[in-house]
A and B are shown apart, each in its own frame.
Chain A
Amino acid sequence: MREPFLKLRGICKRFPGVVALDNVDLDVYSGEIHVLLGENGAGKSTLIKILTGAYQKDAGEIIIDGKEVQIRTPREALQLGISCIYQELNLIPHLSVAENIFLGREPKLLPALGIIDLKDRYKRSAALLKELGCAVSPGVKVKDLGLGKQQMVEIAKALSLNARLVIMDEPTSSLSEKEVEELFRVVRQLKEKGIAIIFVSHKLEEIRQIADRVTVLRDGRKVATLARGEFDIEELIKLMVGRTLKEKFPKINVRRGREALRVEDIWTDTGLKGVSFSAYEGEVLGIAGLVGAGRTELARAIFGADPLRKGNIFIYGQRVDIKCPEDAIRAGLAFLTEDRKTQGLILGESVAFNITLAGIKQFRRWGFLDIRRQFETAEQLARDLKVKPLDIRRKARELSGGNQQKVVLAKWLCTRAKIFIFDEPTRGIDVGAKVEVYNLINQLLQNGAAVIMISSELPEILGMSDRILVMSEGRITGEFLREEATQEKIMKAATGGY
């Protein structure tokens, strides 16, 4: 049998109060797509960061090509042929694609003077991108590219570094379906070249499509490694969460109540062109559409995050004038943003701080905060949402991605809002926790809340919505009741055909 490119033996990593990795072994072969799977906080990102030199392991061996190596810095990882494409991409937005690909390794015309060979750099960048089958000009600035294209630039960079192992941590979580297809095509191409690939995703359907082997982690321990053909989705879920999930979408039916929110003919500079709709108590209103259709912009406009150019908003029949998010919260709105790191969390502050930030006024007594009650409430919410580790004094930065998402959810539950706008509420959340989020939405409905759920995952939209709006280019191009909605109808509306 062939030697694996990468062998990990007995890797351990501890953080104060948490064992992130406990004696993990892993083999990754050249030309293999190896998926890491596990619940939020299982240790996937930590394992990757140890491979890229971002963290140091406490114990264990890393063996590459049969030789034990030490990876102390990201630079050493690169020299060993390990490239990582992080979820928050490491590109410099104001530089061009070619500049980014060769950053720090510019081909020189006159090496002694450090003069860059611009033509050569351009040509080589173009060649790399062409090899990937990616239609991007090396001259454009990275900030003008969509996320999918930016990932391609990262991959081109990895290729130019002669990477032999490419690691991707949840690369597909914010990509459109088309972009995911494109990414998979390129990933398979890397595999053909004999590059080893480690791939992290919570989307089981994708894993079924692309994985050669899957390693499941649970609570920092390796549970199993299964080869293609040895696993099915049910089996993976069971290994991951330790039990079977009865229902992926635990939809309940609540009687539809009063009209909670009405939006009339909203126009904004961010691209909304006359949007009108209503949302009702006890109803999940799903909003589907392609990336860039204006769904997030709609949510932001309603919430006062972007100014309206024209249009009216009514809450329980009353016209409200929402100038800023503070007004929106006062009016009973909650808005869970899609990007938790930049818009959702104060990463350097504690979980308790983050959970109580939006609803902090309720803890005021005689002008001072009742810190005890504040902490008790935060703790209760963290417990309800099964935030792991359950330590509300921990900094938000120290939580795994999925647990950070739960903290953002908890923040809005803490406001006692009546109308919830969720923008991609289950992004980066594991299958088990997804069901918990859905149950929570159900609970909100039973308490008489109105829920608006923006999601790019059609199964989620179809599985949880009572009514579905479809957006395209800043307009609503379709509306379906739960009974009549199908993937095909939604896709048709999303691509512009009414």
Chain B
Amino acid sequence: MLKTVSEKAVKEPDIQAEGKINWKDLLYSLGALLGLILLSAVLTVLSPDFLTLNNLMNIARQSAINSLISVGMLLTILTAGIDLSVGSVLALSTVVMAILIIKLHVSPFIGVLAGLCLGAFLGFMNGILLTKLHLPHPFISTLGTMNIARGLALIVTGATPISGFPFSVQFLGAAFWGPIPVSFMLVLVVFIIFHLFLTRTTTGRYIYAVGGNPEAARLSGVPVERVLVIVYTLSGFMAAVAGLVLIGRVNAAYPLAGLGYELDAIAAVIIGGASFFGGVGTVWGTLVGALIMAVLRNGLNLLGVSADLQTVAIGAVIIGAVYIDVLRQRAINKGRR
């Protein structure tokens, strides 16, 4: 029996090589997906309100902000880095949009563009601090930016929220297309773009190379520093995009927005199967991770669990999800199917 199996494997390496499906990778991302399905099944049984179109769209809307931030975070984690500044970057770029558009009556288009550029610029600075000042770990540079951006957001607003955006600015976060929230469609489009970016462009492949082995990557001609700067710039940019969606949801910009969002994003990325050591992770895993977080929050709400207890539950899920990953990795390493 076994003999025939091994003979086949030896005789037909081409089919194995050209077949599009990589089972290991599939199993890897399926792990989190399986969790999402299981979680949804349990909630469907526990609460009659869970599996309704209305509620599902709710989840889609609630997951949008975290998803958008997470995909940027994924890039940094793929390079074995981290971006702690995303929550503050979100806050600062939204309050700048608010000041420009509401207080200074700049055209909404220009105001939004300026906010997005600011997010990208803050990310760019993170990248420069890391690569040019050679700060030892992005934990440090982004921790610094996190405080700076938060402080600036408080200063420029005098620590008070600003509201009254025109609808055009709220569109992404507030509008619906039929039953589907526009913010969720934005998420899907963004994720498809990032998927193509990571798998089909040289820069995308370089990101994996830098995370896998920076020295080997450099000696293979990968412009490691440029790749890192791009990664942090995109992360900052995505935080600002998420901020724009948040504006639509709450019709206000407030300087304390986005507190702790970095941790939700890290959680989504890690639940989605990315490795803190870099080089491993996919956008679809991250999307599933963000959805798991949203479903969990939503489900616990439906079940009437208190917010404090929800936090405990999410902590447990993070540990559980990563532990399952560890087990799966170990099984793969043992070389057994």
Interface status of A344 (Cβ within 8 A of chain B): yes
A contacts with B: majority SS: mixed
Interface status of B219 (Cβ within 8 A of chain A): yes
Q: A330-B221, A353-B209 are in contact. List 8 more A-B contacts (CB 8 A).
A: A13-B335, A15-B335, A16-B9, A305-B219, A325-B219, A368-B196, A369-B205, A393-B22
- Asked if B216 and A391 sit within 8 Å, CB to CB, the answer is no
Q: How far is the CA of A56 from the CA of B13 in the complex (A)?
A: 26
A-B contact count (CB 8 A): 104
- Asked if A348 and B212 sit within 8 Å, CB to CB, the answer is yes
Which 5 A-B residue pairings sit nearest by Cβ, starting from the closest?
A346-B212, A329-B221, A358-B220, A17-B9, A15-B335
- Asked if A346 and B17 sit within 8 Å, CB to CB, the answer is no
* In the complex, chain A residues 33-56 whose Cβ is within 8 Å of any chain B Cβ: 55-56
Interface status of B103 (Cβ within 8 A of chain A): no
* In the complex, chain A residues 323-357 whose Cβ is within 8 Å of any chain B Cβ: 324-326, 328-330, 335, 337, 342-349, 353, 357
8 A-B contacts, Cβ less than 8 Å apart? Answer: A342-B216, A346-B279, A348-B279, A358-B221, A369-B201, A371-B199, A391-B17, A392-B17
Q: How far is the CA of A14 from the CA of B335 in the complex (A)?
A: 8
- Asked if B202 and A375 sit within 8 Å, CB to CB, the answer is no
- Asked if A357 and B200 sit within 8 Å, CB to CB, the answer is no
Q: How far is the CA of A492 from the CA of B16 in the complex (A)?
A: 53
Interface status of A18 (Cβ within 8 A of chain B): yes
Residues of A contacting B18 with CB < 8 Å?
A: 375
Tell me, rounded to whole Å, the shortest Cβ–Cβ distance linking A424 to chain B.
Answer: 15
Interface status of B105 (Cβ within 8 A of chain A): no
Q: How far is the CA of A324 from the CA of B202 in the complex (A)?
A: 18
- Asked if B200 and A371 sit within 8 Å, CB to CB, the answer is yes
Residues of B contacting A325 with CB < 8 Å?
A: 218-221
Interface status of B213 (Cβ within 8 A of chain A): yes
- Asked if B6 and A14 sit within 8 Å, CB to CB, the answer is yes
Tell me, rounded to whole Å, the shortest Cβ–Cβ distance linking A401 to chain B.
Answer: 16
Tell me, rounded to whole Å, the shortest Cβ–Cβ distance linking A74 to chain B.
Answer: 14
* In the complex, chain B residues 204-232 whose Cβ is within 8 Å of any chain A Cβ: 205, 208-209, 212-213, 215-223
Residues of A contacting B279 with CB < 8 Å?
A: 346, 348-349
* In the complex, chain A residues 368-411 whose Cβ is within 8 Å of any chain B Cβ: 368-369, 371, 375, 379, 389-393, 411
Question: Beyond A55-B335, A325-B221, A337-B219, is A357–B209 a contact (Cβ under 8 Å)?
Answer: yes
- Asked if A357 and B220 sit within 8 Å, CB to CB, the answer is yes
Question: Beyond A19-B6, A328-B221, A349-B279, is A364–B202 a contact (Cβ under 8 Å)?
Answer: yes
Interface string of A129-147 (1 = CB under 8 A from B): 0000000000000000000
Most chain A CB atoms below 10 A, which of B13, B18, B199, B217: B13
Q: How far is the CA of A82 from the CA of B16 in the complex (A)?
A: 38
Q: How far is the CA of A353 from the CA of B198 in the complex (A)?
A: 13
Interface status of B280 (Cβ within 8 A of chain A): yes
- Asked if B212 and A347 sit within 8 Å, CB to CB, the answer is yes
> Which of A's residues lie within 8 Å of B, judged by CB?
13-19, 55-56, 303, 305, 324-326, 328-330, 335, 337, 342-349, 353, 357-358, 360-361, 364, 367-369, 371, 375, 379, 389-393, 411, 415
Q: How far is the CA of A360 from the CA of B203 in the complex (A)?
A: 10
Most chain A CB atoms below 10 A, which of B199, B205, B335, B337: B335
Residues of B contacting A390 with CB < 8 Å?
A: 13, 17
Chain A residue at minimum C-beta to C-beta distance from B19: A393
Interface status of B132 (Cβ within 8 A of chain A): no
Residues of A contacting B223 with CB < 8 Å?
A: 324, 326
Residues of B contacting A379 with CB < 8 Å?
A: 17
Tell me, rounded to whole Å, the shortest Cβ–Cβ distance linking B313 to chain A.
Answer: 32
- In-complex Cβ contact of B208 among A55, A56, A345, A346 (8 A): A346
